[in-house]
Structure 1
Amino acid sequence: MDTLVLVPLREIAGRPGGPNLRGVIIIDGLDECEAEQYHDTTSTGTRAKLTRTSSQDQLEILRVLQAAASDPSFPFRIIIASRPERVFREFFDPEKEPTSFAHKLDLHEDYNANADITLFLEAQFNQIRRRYQLSLSWPPPGAIQTLVGNASGQFVYAATVIRFLDMGHREPPKALLEAILKVQVTKKPTSNPLEQLDALYTHILESSPDPPLSVRWIRSIHSIHDGNHINAQLLVAFNINLLLQTDPESSEVEHLLGNLHSLVRIPPPSNQAATRYDFYHKSLFDYLGDPHRCGNLHVEWSDVRVFIWNAFVRACAREFLSASIFVLQDKSKSDAMIQGGCENQSSSPQSFLEFLIRLPTLRNMASSSAHSEVLPTPASADWWASLATAEVNRSGCLWAMFKEVHRFVSAALNLFQPFH
C-alpha cells in the first residue's frame, strides 16, 4: 500500500499546482472475502494445514484501508458495506478505538428499510402489471404491506419475491403472488429473524419437480465454483451440466432448476458454453447449510461430495466409452505420441475434458474425503492415462508426461482404493 499507492500520492500532493484528487472508494460485501487457500499435497503434518482464516484476511484488509485513510495525502473517502460479523464489530468498536477514524451506520437501527422496500415493491409491481397487462387492482390491497412486514428489513426477501414473480416461472404472476401470501412460517417458538425468508426459500425450492436433487445440484455448483483450483473459463454452465446430468443428452437441468430462476442466475441455452451459473444472495447457502432452517431440504456436505464424485466417475466411464483410445503397439508409435502428442478422440468438447481432469484438485474435494457409490473401472483408468498423455507439454519430455499422469490420474483414481 505504501509503495504502490501512498508514496505516489504524496509526490503528487507535494507538487505545486498538482491535480486536486477527490473521490469515494466503495467496498461492498467485505465479509464475503475469503482467504485464498492452497493445498500442498506433498506436505504432511502441521505444514499441510491451512494457516489463515477469512477473518484474518478481512482484518488485514481493514488495517490496510485504515492506514490509507489516516494518511493526509490520501484524497479518497472509503465506504465499507458488510454484515456485522465479529471481526468488523471489534474493529469499529469505539470503546476499543477511542479516536475512531470511521462513522458507523447500522442499517437495522439507523435506517428506515421498510420505506425503501415499500418503494421498491411498488415500482416493481407496476412494471410487472404493465408487462403482463394485469388489472390496476393488482396487487390486491394489503399485499405490499404484508410483504414488507415479512421482509423484516431484509431487502433480499423483497428482491427474491420479485424475481420469483418475474423470471421464467411457468405460472402467471397473479397465482405466484397468491401462493407467496399464503406461505406459513413454522408455528414453533423461534428466535430466527429470517423465518419469512426461510419460508420463501422453502416454497421456491419445493416448486422444483425434485427438491432434494435440486438442492444437490445447487450445492454442487456452488462447491465447484468455490474450489479455487479450476480456471474460471472452464466453470461454464455447459461443463457443469455435462458433469452432473446422468444423461448428457437430457434436459435435466431445465427440469430441475427451471422454476428456480429467482435463486439461481441460469444462462440461456445459447450462452451456456461461455457463461457460469451464479447465485443471487449468500443467504441461500446460509439457509441450506442449517438443518434447523431448511428442514427436510437439508443435504449433508458429505452427501454433496458423494454426489459430485459419482458424477465424476460416471463422466470418466462415459468418456471412455465414447472415445477411440490410442493403443501403443510399438516403440515408433510411442515415440511419435510423446513427441507430437495425440489428439483427443472424445466426443465431448476439449474444455469439458480439461474441466473434468482438474476436478479432483478442488480444495473442498480433497482425496481424504473422497467417496463414490460408483467405483471407477479399469477402462476409466485407460481413458485418463490416454487423455493425460495427449495433453502433456509436447516437448518430448517423458518425465513431464509421468508427472502429469500421476498428478491427475493417481489423484483421481487411487483415492478410491479404500472403498474397493
Structure 2
Amino acid sequence: MDWRIAAGSADPNPFASLDKLYQGILETSPDPVLAATWIEARSIMGNIEGEFYRGICETFPREAVFIFRRLSSLIGLVNSEGNLDLELYHKSLFDFLNGTQRSVALYVSPERARQFTWDRFYQVLRGMSKFSCTLAPLLYDPEVIDHTIRRRSQGEIGDSLPFLRDVCKHLYNYLDPHRTYGASDVDWWISHITFQEEPVE
C-alpha cells in the first residue's frame, strides 16, 4: 500500500481517504480501542517474544483471534518466522494510530499503553501468586520438565512453565509504581526469580 502526499496539496488532511479506510476496517473489530491498545503495547514491549506478549495481554484463551479476526487485511497473528505474534502489514497503519488528529477516538497514547501493560502484568502476578512458592524448584527439575513436555505434546497442557519463568524475568520492567503489591506477591516473585539453564539433552 503506497500513499503519497500530492505536492503543494492544500488539503488539511492529505491522508483523509487512507484514515477513513483504516478507521472503517478497525471498527469491524469487536473492540477497536482494545485492538489499538494491543498494537501500541506491542511496540512498547519491544523485543519480547510474541507468544509471551500474547500470553500477557490475553484475558481469556484466543482473545487475540477474537479481537483481530476481522482485521486480517491489516494485521497478522503469525510473524514472518511462523511464530505467534502481532504483525502489522503496513507501517502507515502505525502512523495512523499514532496521530492524535488522524485516529481520533482510536488513538492510544504511549502512557495509556504502558498502563495497560502494567495492569496486565499486575493481574497475571496476582493470579500466579496463589501458587505455592514450593513450585520454584520444580521449574528446573528434569523429571518435571520431561513430564511437562510429554503432556504438552499430547495436548493436555499449554506452555505454562516457560510462560511463568518469562513473567518473572520481565516483571521488573513492568511493575506499576501506583499499585500496592502484597507480601505474598513479592515472596512469590523472589522465589521464582533465580534462573538456571534448562537441561540440554
TM-score (normalizing by structure 2): 0.73
Pick from 315, 320, 323 the counterpart of residue 129 of structure 2: 320
Quick one: which amino acid aligns to residue 291 of structure 1? T
Residue aligning to 1:208: 29
Moved >3 Å (runs of 4+): none
- Which residue number in structure 2 is paired with residue 387 of structure 1? 192
1:331-350 alignment, distance < 5 Å: 342-344=137-139, 349-350=160-161
- Superposition deviation, residue 313 in structure 1: 0.9
Per the alignment, residue 4 of structure 1 pairs with none
1:122-201 map, 5 Å: 154=3, 190-201=11-22
The answer as to 2:86 corresponding to 1:262 is no
Structure 1's 245 and 192: CA in aligned 2 closer, same or farther, altered over 3 A?
A: same
Residue 301 of structure 1: CA displacement?
1.4
Equivalent residue, structure 2, for 1:183: none
Q: By how many angstroms is 1:246 displaced?
A: 2.1
Partner of 2:56: 243
Question: Structure 1 246/221 Cα, relative in aligned 2: closer, same or farther at 3 Å?
Answer: same
Change (3 A) 1:261 1:352: same
Within-5 A mapping of 1:75-86: none
Question: Match of 1:383, as an amino acid?
Answer: W
Within 1, Cα distance between the matches of 2:184 and 2:14?
53
CA displacement 1:103-150 (0-9 Å, x = unmatched) = xxxxxxxxxxxxxxxxxxxxxxxxxxxxxxxxxxxxxxxxxxxxxxxx
Q: 1:300 corresponds to which residue?
A: 109
Give, as a single letter, the amino acid of the residue that structure 2 aligns with 1:378. Answer: A
Quote the residue 1:288 is aligned against: 97
The 3 A distance-change label for structure 1 pair 242 and 377 is farther
The one-letter code matched in structure 1 to 2:68 is L
- Structure 2: which 5+ residue stretches go unaligned? 5-9, 145-157
Aligned residues of 1:267 and 1:277 also touching (Cα < 8 A)? yes
**Structure 1 unaligned runs (5+)?**
1-150, 156-188, 328-340, 395-420
- Distance in 2, Cα, partners of 1:205 & 1:199: 10
- Asked if structure 2 preserves the Cα contact closer than 8 Å seen for 1:264 and 1:278, the reply is yes
Instruction: Report SS of the residue matched to 2:190.
Output: helix
1:305–1:371 CA contact under 8 A, matched in 2? no
> Within the alignment, does 1:219 sit opposite 2:40 as a pair?
yes
| Distance of aligned partners of 1:290 and 1:388 in 2 relative to their CA distance in 1, 3 Å threshold | same
Equivalences, count: 176
Please report how far the alpha carbon of residue 386 of structure 1 lies from its aligned counterpart in structure 2 after TM superposition. 1.2
After superposition, the CA RMSD in angstroms is: 3.2
* Deviation of the 1:393 alpha carbon: 6.9
Residue 292 (structure 1) shift: 0.3
Between the aligned partners of 1:263 and 1:351, the Cα distance in structure 2 is 30
Q: 3-state DSSP class of the match of 1:287?
A: helix
Q: Matched residues in 1 for 2:169 and 2:73: separation? A: 30
CA distance in 2, matches of 1:299, 1:357: 27
* Deviation readout 1:149-206 (Å, 9 max, x if unpaired): xx8x629xxxxxxxxxxxxxxxxxxxxxxxxxxxxxxxxx843222211111100111
CA distance in 2, matches of 1:154, 1:257: 24
Give the aligned residue type for 1:217: W
Identity within the alignment, %: 26
Change (3 A) 1:265 1:240: same
Aligned equivalents of 2:137, 2:36: Cα separation in 1: 40
Of structures 1 and 2, the one with the larger relative CO (CA 8 A, separation 6+) is 2
Please tell me whether Structure 1 or Structure 2 has the larger radius of gyration of its CA atoms: 1
Residue matched to 1:275: 84
2:111 corresponds to which letter in structure 1? S
| Alpha-carbon distance in structure 1 between the residues aligned to 2:100 and 2:38 | 17
Distance 1:325 1:190 in 2: 61
Q: TM-score, normalised by structure 1?
A: 0.37
SS in 1 for 2:72: coil
CA distance in 2, matches of 1:236, 1:300: 21
* Conservation of the 8 A alpha-carbon contact between 1:290 and 1:298: yes
